[in-house]
Amino acid sequence: MENLKFNVGDNVKIVSNDLQPAMVGKIGRVKKVYPSFSEDSDNNVQPSYFYRVEVGGAVLKGIAASSDLEKYRQNDMKKYRVTIDLDAFEIVVSANNKAEAKRKAIERLQRKKITSLIRKSWSDNKKEVYVDEK
């Protein structure tokens, strides 16, 4: 009997992927959990779980079994300080690399509904974004 190993929203590291071998070693997030049930010879129901994983905004092809994934702790990520030239906004995000840090910082700014400030500050279309490791 297999227990639920990951929940929706958990960060996971892909340890095997036959359909997309280039994704092995990448960090993703569980988007959906699919339970599957089967009966053994004694008519006991045995659950299994399969997972849909998203990496970098794209959902991977196929589903992953628990053995294809391992838990990835948030504190394993590096901290980056992202400075966006909007009258000196500075945001600290956790990310695996500088590109992800930049994307996360911009997403966090967009959640704060400051698009009008972005338009005013970047009216000449010169977006200045600096990413430094903390």
The two structure tokens encoding residue 95: 């990310």
Which of 11-15, 34-38, 40-44 comes out lowest in average pLDDT?
A: 40-44
Taking residues 81-100, report their average pLDDT. 73
Computed over every residue of the chain, the mean pLDDT equals: 78
Alpha carbons 4 and 76: distance in angstroms, whole number: 23
51 vs 99, more confident: 51
104 vs 118, more confident: 104
Residues 6+ apart with CB under 8 A from 41: none
Res. 65: pLDDT tops 70: yes
Q: Structural domain boundaries of the chain?
A: 11-75, 77-133
54 vs 120, more confident: 54
Alpha carbons 53 and 73: distance in angstroms, whole number: 16
Grouping H, G, I as helix, E, B as strand and the rest as coil, residue 113 is: coil
pTM of the model: 0.52
Which of 2-6, 31-35, 80-84 comes out lowest in average pLDDT?
A: 80-84
Which of 22-26, 46-50, 103-107 comes out lowest in average pLDDT?
A: 103-107
Tens digits of residue pLDDT in 2-24: 678 888 988 899 998 888 888 88
